[in-house]
A = this chain, B = another copy of it.
Amino acid sequence: MLVGYLGPKGSFTHDVATHSFPTSERIAYRTITDVIKAYENQEIDFAVVPVENSIEGSVHETLDYLFHQGTIQAVAEVVYPIKQQLLVAKKDRLIRTVYSHPQALAQGKAFLRAHYPDVAMEMTASTAYAARYVAEHPDLEIAAIAPLAAASEYSLEVQARDIQEIEDNYTRFWILGAKEPAMSETLSPALQKISLALTLPNNLSGALYKGLSTFAWRGINLTKIESRPLKTALGEYFFIIDLLNEAPDLIQFAYQELDSLGIQTKVLGRYQVYTLKDNGMEKR
């Protein structure tokens, strides 16, 4: 079985793919769109992509592709803790410049200010690229902020551990495919959820209100609602809604009512949520 993921090697998505499918062959792709397209071209059996971070919010490339072009759906979700490490080619050497993704730099800023006040920060396209750059330039006085997986992947040393500012930082990853995967036993099943994309007929105020009514008066719990631009004109949106999949009958009635209101519904995923077993996340 082949599993594609958003690379490069040493990325958080790589880590999630390894945790979820420890015995499968795993293939890195350069962009989220490339991973999903690889699935559509039947190069892989499952695609692992990030969908939402607790600080940064939704991953637009994933949701927009699934809404606009995709026919593939999420069949499992993994909620994964994001911890950032300060990685170097050789430990305890002078560090003049730190490379990382803008969000990881933001998360590491307080730590760097306290421990490396004179360091310069340079942005890269991903944390794993930063780690690779440091590994490829072992003689420069540089470091990367990147996941622990990147340290082993690129043979880097951990200069400082868990330097992120906000402790409670998690990312939701979706596993896209045709059927529910057999997940590794290192993961615990939690909630069952459904993610929908709603497209409203004109007049946002009234239509969104009516759409939400179909769930509210049936007591169906939403865990998320978000608007995304339709890419037609500024001010035109579609809506992503996550539901707890607790009352399948009621949800079917809600679908029918949305349809009769002229609200289009696309199912982006119907999935079991998993968390890591050994880091106190079972309560989620």
Interface residues of A, Cβ cutoff 8 Å to B = 52-57, 60, 79, 102, 123, 125, 166, 168, 170, 172, 203-206, 208-209, 212-213, 215-216, 219-229, 231-235, 237, 284
B222 touching A54 by the CB < 8 A rule? no
Complex-state Cα separation, A56 to B206, whole angstroms: 25
Complex-state Cα separation, A228 to B58, whole angstroms: 9
B57 touching A60 by the CB < 8 A rule? yes
Complex-state Cα separation, A111 to B252, whole angstroms: 44
Complex-state Cα separation, A30 to B222, whole angstroms: 38
B168 touching A233 by the CB < 8 A rule? yes
B237 touching A224 by the CB < 8 A rule? yes
The secondary structure that dominates the A interface is mixed
B residues less than 8 Å from A232 (CB atoms) = 168
Q: Ordered nearest first, which 9 A-B pairs have the shortest CB separation?
A: A123-B125, A54-B234, A209-B216, A205-B222, A226-B227, A170-B234, A209-B212, A55-B231, A205-B221
A146 to chain B: closest CB distance in Å?
A: 16
Query: Which of A168, A203, A225 gathers the greatest number of chain B CB atoms within 10 Å?
Result: A225
Looking at the complex, which one of B170, B215, B223, B226 makes contact with A226 (CB distance below 8 Å)? B226
A222 to chain B: closest CB distance in Å?
A: 5
Complex-state Cα separation, A54 to B230, whole angstroms: 8
Q: Given that A57-B60, A60-B57 are known contacts, is A204 also in contact with B221, CB under 8 Å in the complex? A: yes
26 A-B residue contacts at CB 8 Å? A52-B229, A54-B233, A55-B229, A55-B231, A57-B228, A102-B125, A166-B231, A168-B233, A172-B234, A203-B221, A204-B221, A204-B223, A204-B224, A204-B225, A205-B215, A206-B216, A208-B222, A208-B225, A209-B213, A209-B216, A212-B212, A223-B235, A224-B227, A224-B235, A226-B227, A234-B284
Q: Given that A60-B57, A209-B212, A212-B209 are known contacts, is A204 also in contact with B229, CB under 8 Å in the complex? A: no
Q: Which residue of B lies closest to A209 (CB)?
A: B216
Complex-state Cα separation, A1 to B229, whole angstroms: 35
A206 to chain B: closest CB distance in Å?
A: 6
Complex-state Cα separation, A226 to B225, whole angstroms: 7
A269 to chain B: closest CB distance in Å?
A: 16
Complex-state Cα separation, A215 to B209, whole angstroms: 10
A208 touching B204 by the CB < 8 A rule? no
B residues less than 8 Å from A206 (CB atoms) = 216
B residues less than 8 Å from A54 (CB atoms) = 229, 231, 233-234
